[in-house]
Structure 1
């Protein structure tokens, strides 16, 4: 199979100029992810297909969640590439966490090329109902009248 795409080099050059990312076109440029709120926690899912499971690292430091992972390059021995588009190298993504996050309870799993990170909301930051205390005696306000003379 032979692939001919005369515009791929121009497209890669344009993408490189329009983004602030550096490196060769074989270096991972981004880690696609989704982030949503589900009940009392946030759920982050990131696509990391082909990543070495032992290289996936999730840590929190000073309110910053850092995700990193590594995909190993295939061996170049006796290979005649017909298409070589998959990125290899280290992926890294950082997110700032708000003060309402319980950083000590963050958990992560990596399965079928998808990293799932559960980020719980701290108990003190969860919405709650405030009960209103009632005083013993209620005062009523009497309307005042103005005498017209």
Structure 2
């Protein structure tokens, strides 16, 4: 059990008043492309998976989550360093994303969102045939594809 330190508690209280972010917090995330889909991994420790809300409105992906802490008549806090918080992240998906195929899982405090690239945006070969029997020329489209842009 931790011992009570009034100076530490006063410092924590002053920090929460002066440094507290207004509104929802940003969740740390990684985003990478793996083949024909993007993978977004966001850290959300202590979140009830039922509180996670993922919306797609046009090309805007919004992730919201809520962390609540137990409250009750019999609860006596010894120390309280974790805060209840709201989290928010928005990304502009850009063109070439299959928004109907977006899927999400939550495991060990990490939310993973899989964002597939649409068939139209996948790299493909374009064959060019010259008139008069000249050799065939093949052109290749860029393999970079669309890139999600964060707000």
**RMSD value over aligned CA atoms?**
2.4
List 4+ stretches of structure 1 deviating above 6 A: none
Deviation at 1:134, TM superposition (A): 3.0
Structure possessing the higher radius of gyration over alpha carbons = 1
The alpha-carbon distance between structure 1 residues 55 and 7, as it changes in their structure 2 partners (threshold 3 A), is: closer
Give 1:59's aligned residue: 55
Deviation at 1:137, TM superposition (A): 4.7
In the alignment, the residues of structure 1 paired with residue 97 and residue 22 of structure 2 have an alpha-carbon distance, to the nearest angstrom, of 32
Give 2:82's aligned residue: 86
Deviation at 1:81, TM superposition (A): 3.0
Is the strand fraction higher in 1 or 2? 2
State whether residues 25 and 86 of structure 2, in contact with CA within 8 Å, keep that contact through their aligned partners in structure 1: no
TM-score by length of 2: 0.71
Structure 2, unpaired ranges of 5+:
135-151
Aligned length: 130
In the alignment, the residues of structure 2 paired with residue 55 and residue 64 of structure 1 have an alpha-carbon distance, to the nearest angstrom, of 20
Q: Aligned match of 1:108 in 82, 94, 104?
A: 104
